[in-house]
């Protein structure tokens, strides 16, 4: 029987972008981070090129780590700012805002006060957990300067004195790896040993298997509404889905098109498709050719190519190649 939930217009996650799908690379990263936490590591770095899916991967960590380490596990996410000059007051106030502290901006405006508020807040949250643990994820960590790491060490030490395990995950672009190398060269062992001893390079989609795993997420892993059995593919192509169509059947077509289009536009180097552009292409296909769009009876190579061109993936890769 053909089933498709009735939803208000443009409220499906494909329109809002509010959805998470696991990929091969996200699974690798999650397993790596889990080992770091299990081994009580104080931290590690995760780095990769721009727009390859690190932000989605961070959201995946934030949502699913509590499933493994306790539902009461506090996982805080902080988007690092572009600091011209490191300022202790500004840094601790920013951290307080990101953990939703009710007195983040309350007076007095002194670094020592903000610091103590953060310490106390994290200690209280950590003590409420079974494993006495707190996780901090710092996105765009390549923006941090050396004094920021010194202040992070102070936070770590304060929680350690209270018998709270703190793991800090530094996520950023490839400059973050370069920053680690500079710290090693400068003998900043206290920083490298505390927060950078572990590292994981995050990649985009590189193989047919990577593409297939992502498309299978739309076919089977995704369900909306959550209490329904309707996957994203089924919602947008209900009749085709009932007849056996799955987006993952197009994995080879996607892969070959990416290779052919790179060659056509003179883009060299190994294939690594950023998740941002891949998901945009899939969303374009679902919205444009699905039941709420042209309602086609089958998808063609030309339509997939159109979707890839729509994302500006080619323009991005051409620009990136000029910067090398």
Tens-digit pLDDT profile for residues 232-245: 999 999 999 999 99
Query: Is residue 4's pLDDT more than 90?
Result: no
Nearest-angstrom CA–CA distance, 59 and 62: 5
Q: Which of 40-54, 203-217, 246-260 has the lowest mean pLDDT?
A: 40-54
Given CA atoms 97, 102, 107, 113 in this order, what sign does their dihedral have?
Answer: negative
Domains, the chain, in order of start with CATH, read 24-201 (3.40.50.300), 206-323 (no CATH)
By C-alpha distance, which of 196, 200, 194 is closest to 34? 200
Helix or strand or coil: residue 78? strand
- Mean pLDDT throughout 267-287? 95
Confidence band for 323, pLDDT divided at 50, 70 and 90: low
By C-alpha distance, which of 199, 316, 207, 202 is closest to 270? 207
Residue 50: Cβ-neighbour burial (10 angstroms; 0-12, 13-18, 19+): exposed
Order of all β-strands in the sheet with 75-79 = 75-79, 133-139, 165-172, 43-47, 198-201
The first and second tokens of residue 251, run together, are 């994995």
Confidence band for 201, pLDDT divided at 50, 70 and 90: very high
> What per-residue confidence (pLDDT) applies to 52?
85
Given CA atoms 138, 139, 141, 144 in this order, what sign does their dihedral have?
Answer: negative
The first and second tokens of residue 274, run together, are 């950023």
Give 188-209 as a 3 state SS string. CHHHHHHHHCEEEECCCECCHH
Please give the C-alpha separations between residue 110 and each of 83, 88, 155, in angstroms, as whole numbers. 18, 9, 17
Helix or strand or coil: residue 1? coil
Q: Which of 51-55, 95-99, 211-215, 260-264 has the lowest mean pLDDT?
A: 51-55
Does residue 49 or residue 161 have the better pLDDT?
Answer: 161
Q: What is the mean pLDDT of the chain?
A: 94
By C-alpha distance, which of 130, 116, 30 is closest to 74? 130
What is the rounded end-to-end Cα distance, in angstroms, of the chain? Answer: 54
Confidence band for 2, pLDDT divided at 50, 70 and 90: low
């Amino acid at each position: 029987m053909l089933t498709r939930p009735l939803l208000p217009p443009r409220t499906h996650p494909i329109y809002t972008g509010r959805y998470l799908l696991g990929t091969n690379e996200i699974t690798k990263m999650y397993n790596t981070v889990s080992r770091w936490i299990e081994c009580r590591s104080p931290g590690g770095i995760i780095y990769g090129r721009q727009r390859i899916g690190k932000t989605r991967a961070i959201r995946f960590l934030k949502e699913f780590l509590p499933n493994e380490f306790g539902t009461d596990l506090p996982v805080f996410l902080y988007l690092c700012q572009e600091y011209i000059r490191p300022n202790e007051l500004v840094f601790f106030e920013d951290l307080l805002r990101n953990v939703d502290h009710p007195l983040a901006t309350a007076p007095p405006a002194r670094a020592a006060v903000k610091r103590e508020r953060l310490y106390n807040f994290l200690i209280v949250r950590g003590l409420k957990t079974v494993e006495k643990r707190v996780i901090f994820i710092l996105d765009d960590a390549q923006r941090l300067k050396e004094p920021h790491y010194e202040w992070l060490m102070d936070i770590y030490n304060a929680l350690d004195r209270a018998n709270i395990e703190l793991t800090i995950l530094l996520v950023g672009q490839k400059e973050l790896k370069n920053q680690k190398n500079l710290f090693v060269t400068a003998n900043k062992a206290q920083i490298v040993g505390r927060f950078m001893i572990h590292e994981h390079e995050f990649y985009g989609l590189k193989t047919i298997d990577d593409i297939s795993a992502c498309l299978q997420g739309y076919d089977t892993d995704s369900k909306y509404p959550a209490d329904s059995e309707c996957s994203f593919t089924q919602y947008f192509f209900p009749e085709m889905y009932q007849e056996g169509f799955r987006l993952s059947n197009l994995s080879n077509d996607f892969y070959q098109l990416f290779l052919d289009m790179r060659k056509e536009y003179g883009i060299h180097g190994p294939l690594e498709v950023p998740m941002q552009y891949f998901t945009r292409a899939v969303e374009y296909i679902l919205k444009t050719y699905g039941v709420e769009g042209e309602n086609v009876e089958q998808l063609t190579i030309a339509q997939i190519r159109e979707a890839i061109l729509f994302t500006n993936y080619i323009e991005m890769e051409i620009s990136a190649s000029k910067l090398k």
